[in-house]
Structure 1
Amino acid sequence: MKLLYSPASPYARKVLALAHERGLTGRITVATAATAPTGAAPDVTPHNPLGKVPALLLDDGTVLYDSRVICEYLDGLGDGPGLFPQGPARWDALTRQALGDGLLDAALLTRYERVLRPEAQRWAAWDAGQVAKITAALDRIEALVPAMPALDIGAVAIACALGYLDFRFPELAWREGRPASAAWYAAFSARPAMAATAPRG
């Protein structure tokens, strides 16, 4: 299998972290691929018409995207208990994955607005609206972490989202007023899978 990846992408990090947790890294070739919301992505678009990473190229020519689909596919290949539980716990894990991914969606839109859009065209109300979503997601995470399972796809997604805030938005100081989340993240980010996939670039 071949994973099209960006070292700064939190969604690609989620896939790689799951692959580490499931003992699959030896079965995946990682290929760095350039993408941009305003430009062409010639390494990616032939495989994913949306021009986004991650995309997983299977040996039979099938291509999987986005990160949620890839994570569930890879989870089924690993040995032992997976990160996608069954029964009622599944819906809780998937909802927490959606919370982490939604936080990332708002963070990426904020970054695009602040970094890529020409300064004269930036929209303060848009920026404020996305930051409000980030704040609301962080407050929900603070309420959830005391009862969160030690490891599932929801925990991985939330950890990758918090790691992205550290990487791109240190000024948000998301730990302030959220001691449960700060303590949980400090412990979870020490996992080998998280240390091996820390964002860069």
Structure 2
Amino acid sequence: MSDFEIKHKQASKLSEHTAYKITQILKFLLNIFYGKKYAKRAVILETIAAVPGMVAGMFNHLKALRRMKDDEGWIRELLDEAENERMHLMIFLDIAKPSWVERTLVLIGQGAFIFVYGLIYLLSSKIAHRVVGYFEEEACKSYTEYLNKIDDGEVDNVAAPQIAIEYYQLPSDAKLRDVILKIRNDEANHRDRNHSFADAYETNNLPQHLY
């Protein structure tokens, strides 16, 4: 994981400032509920993160059908992103073991975000992808803090859940830190890809079905 780095795309356009402000609002709301409770915070984080890829994949799928043009791989990549984030959620549900009250809050938050993100995507796909790019930047920061807490002994480096061992093909004696490293790397990839998707709208370097 030596190639990982914290990145931030400096907002310079109105659309980027709008996307960054939306991300900061989401971050503020997340901090209100869970603050430094990293495992439970990750449950909420991944619940939200699993939505954009599925919503964007659905809209692009319908647009490709409507225009009868090839999607050039965007749909599959977006759906793979959604599946990857769903697996992150499954892993942290095993780690955090939220109560039924917390699970209810997760469902409410997920439902609200599906509506909000779907509306954003309809109004501006560029802003929607930029939101995800900024959101994943915050995820990378959050997981880096999580790793630091493990390294400092403030969070127990417990055994990795079996679901994480199987998904990432980790050794049987893998620890929580090994899992967080893998997840952070996933988030960094989603960060870079969604920023590149947003950039593609600005440069008109889009698949045929999006024109």
Shared fold by TM > 0.5? no
TM-score (norm 1): 0.34
| Greater helix fraction, Structure 1 or Structure 2 | 2
| Greater strand fraction, Structure 1 or Structure 2 | 1
TM-score (norm 2): 0.33
Does 1 or 2 have the higher relative contact order (CA < 8 Å, sep 6+)? Answer: 2
